[in-house]
Amino acid sequence: MRKILPPLAVVFAALLWSADGFLRQELYSISSFLVVTLEHAFGALLFLPFLIKTWPEIKKLGQRGWISVLWISICGGILGTYFYTKALSYIDYIDLSVVVLLQKLQPIFAISLAAIILKEKLTQRFIGLALVAMLGGYLVTFGTTSIADWDDKTL
């Protein structure tokens, strides 16, 4: 179970992340703050069984560990999700937008920042795949829409 659970958790998280664009558009009438609060409450409920199971290990976290957890939760989770949702509300939740493109490319930004801040090593393979992902993210977001059809909310 210990070998299969982490990959399954990543797959499940990726599925939730990919469904985000569809779900978030339907929540346009709700405030960004409430959307983010509900989203994180739902995530916390899903995570609760793992938290309870690993509580003895979590209790061993020192002050630096807790600061890291809070930093990642607040800056990487809550604020990032809030700003993304708020930006979508400013452009009327349209799909063809820079906001959606940036969200689709977020993993590339995260890994690139890990290379800059944490001095993680980027391989040539990653750089090549990142370029392909950027092109794919662009095509998924804008498709083959002509530049002449863009407006101030799409680019």
24-28, 53-57, 83-87, 133-137: the lowest-pLDDT one: 24-28
The per-residue pLDDT for range 58-83, each reduced to its tens digit, is 889 999 999 988 888 888 778 888 88
CA 4 to chain centre: 23
% the chain with pLDDT above 70:
89
Q: How would DSSP label each residue in 79-119? A: IHHHHHHHHHHHTTT-SSSHHHHHHHTHHHHHHHHHHHHS-
